[in-house]
Amino acid sequence: MHNMAYEYEPYLGQDDKDIPCFRIYSDCEPIAETNENQPIEVQEKAARLLVASYDLVEGLRQAVYALKSHGSFELGAGDTSHALADKLNRLILSV
């Protein structure tokens, strides 16, 4: 499990104005930063998504396990629980 966080850490521009930037940390180590050329709202949303990504992938893994361990059942629209689990698993592996 990774301890993910983000912080607002702006750059100081040549005109002494803040240039917005968020840094993303995993286990207290910086792993990424946002594009300072984007609006601050977009940057913060990107930072929040990156921080949530590990939890989202772990949630998908748990969903795959639950779907696979309870036998195949119909989900509607011709899909089965095992087919959905396979799609989720491919998504996890592509990340």
Range of the domain at 23: 4-94
Q: What angle do CA 88, 22, 10 make, to 5 degrees?
A: 170
CA 73 – CA 81 distance, rounded (Å): 5
Where do we find the tokens 């990774």? 2
CA 87 – CA 49 distance, rounded (Å): 21
pTM, two decimal places: 0.70
Return averaged pLDDT per consecutive 10 residues of the chain, 95 residues in all: 89 94 95 95 96 88 84 75 84 78
Question: What is the domain count for the chain?
Answer: 1
